[in-house]
Amino acid sequence: MTQHLADALPTSTGTQPGWWREAVIYQVYPRSFADSNGDGMGDLEGIRSRLPYLKELGVDAVWLSPFYASPQADAGYDVADYRAIDPMFGTLHDADAVIREAHGLGLRIIVDLVPNHCSDQHEWFKQALREGPGTPLRERFHFRPGRGADGSEPPNDWESIFGGPAWTRVADGEWYLHLFAPEQPDFNWEHPAVQDEFRSVLRFWLDLGVDGFRIDVAHGLVKAPGLPDLGRGEQLKLLGNQVLPFFDQDGVHEIYRSWRRVLDEYAGDRIGVAEAWTPSAQRTAMYLRPDELHQAFNFHYLNTGWDAEALRATIDESLDAMRPVGAPTTWVLSNHDVVRHRTRFGSLDRARAAALLMLALPGSAYVYQGEELGLPEVTDLPDEVRQDPSFFKANGQDGLRDGCRVPLPWSGDEAPYGFGAGGSWLPQPAEWAGLSVAAQTGDPASTLELYRAALRLRRERPELGAGEGVEWLSGPEVPEGVLAFRRGDFVCTANTTGADVRMAVSGGRVLLSSTDVVEPGVLPADSTVWWQV
């Protein structure tokens, strides 16, 4: 087998095997990261040119959202060809250059994989439409006759995540299933050709040298036998709250066991990361048994508010759930699908404090591009520039995901702030001039320098990141609304209240604080402090 640079990277950064166990992984949303050719859209060459920034930031790996050939009906999550690069992002040569340069800098590369559905422009689906009902190609998707005397009703009552029925009727009268947009037909994972194809796709990218895959809608591949009615409306309210006939079916696990065997064929600790919305941390842990995937996004943590009691409960539940399967817990505050946490939490102070709390926890942390700059959600985008497909659907998601996808500000006093010479595909706010990378670099009070300092300390101190638990501090010395835990000779205190509180950390020396600690023994409002004791 061909040796790749990935094979030469260290297999662990701490006490346990597996670099991913404590890695800080940075999510790049390619169209909004950096534009190299001035067309207003980020691209692979733009990513390659900014890799030194990510190395200096102090992350261990980079996760790239989709850059495959796609009609872009859902920002690239509608894939027409899993082995080709969309021209808007560059070429396969550009992808290879990103992987090789990242490895040269000691960074790993994780790529998105979208196995639940493809684009309606995928050759398999186009051929299935041409061949008609009852033909073999249709069996690779979920084609069904409609209900009612004339077949004019959808085959069941499932609703699309983007709103409306999860079925679309084609010209010959049959219907096909799409849990997302009509342009995203679901694969039938009971079909061996689908399983064979995706094992081949895995090997294609592993041969190119990628270090792993973030698996989109990892919980959605297998549908309940017979595609039964759910029996109620407003199904979006059930997502992540219970097992549904189209999500988190037990059959997905055999798929990931087969994928794990492929990953283990390759040297260099190649990993699978599940985007799995499940009813509980225990259900999520099932994806991470020793013969399945390596990590799963901790959406339970992402959805926890800035509240000490709730955070402690979620942290304990997360750590307890992962321990029996030997998997690291992951921590994430923002991504390309949710409102940025600075806006969700209501202030920059809280966002900074939440970042330090997250980075002090054992396991792997994910940083979404721009959170290290303290970027807020852009809430006032005009309707005519929005591209989120759910924005155009009634009763779907909130349709406001564009607000977290506005291109990054790199430098300069006016838009597009160094993003590229030709503007940006979504408009950037005027106040972002002060939040650019250039404006924050070297300013010790900036959010960027806070992240750089935190990631440097995390790398220097073996007790951060590694491990499976925390030692909670409690009792009268820990005020209400304060989260405090010890890890070796390190203590983290997070004051989630809106008022300063008095708390002495005996013999403690401040290593890093999300805001200035003006008075010894007093934790500022909405702050997190790291201590050496």
Catalytic center residues? 216, 265
DSSP E strand stretches across 125-232: 143-144, 167-169, 175-177, 212-215
Q: Which residues contact 139 (CB under 8 A, 6 or more apart)?
A: 188, 191
CB burial of residue 414 (10 Å; 0-12, 13-18, 19+): exposed
CB burial of residue 231 (10 Å; 0-12, 13-18, 19+): exposed
Here the tokens at position 319 are 């750590």
Whole-angstrom distance, CA of residue 394 vs CA of residue 175 = 21
Whole-angstrom distance, CA of residue 53 vs CA of residue 478 = 39
DSSP character at residue 170: -
Here the tokens at position 517 are 């600690």
Report the chain's terminal Cα–Cα distance, integer Å. 49
Say if CB 239 and CB 100 are below 8 A apart.
Answer: no
For tokens 């950390």, the residue is 505
Kindly state the helix (H) or strand (E) to which residue 24 belongs, with its residue range: strand 24-28
For tokens 């009763």, the residue is 395
CA-based torsion, 430, 432, 438, 443: positive or negative: positive
Please state the separation of Cα 515 from the chain's center in Å: 27
Of 54, 57, 176, nearest to 124 by C-alpha is 176
Angle, helices 192-208/252-263, rounded to nearest 10 degrees: 30
Whole-angstrom distance, CA of residue 181 vs CA of residue 400 = 16
SS3 522: strand
Say if CB 483 and CB 388 are below 8 A apart.
Answer: no
Q: Across-strand partners of 435? A: none
Here the tokens at position 46 are 């733009």
Whole-angstrom distance, CA of residue 297 vs CA of residue 366 = 9
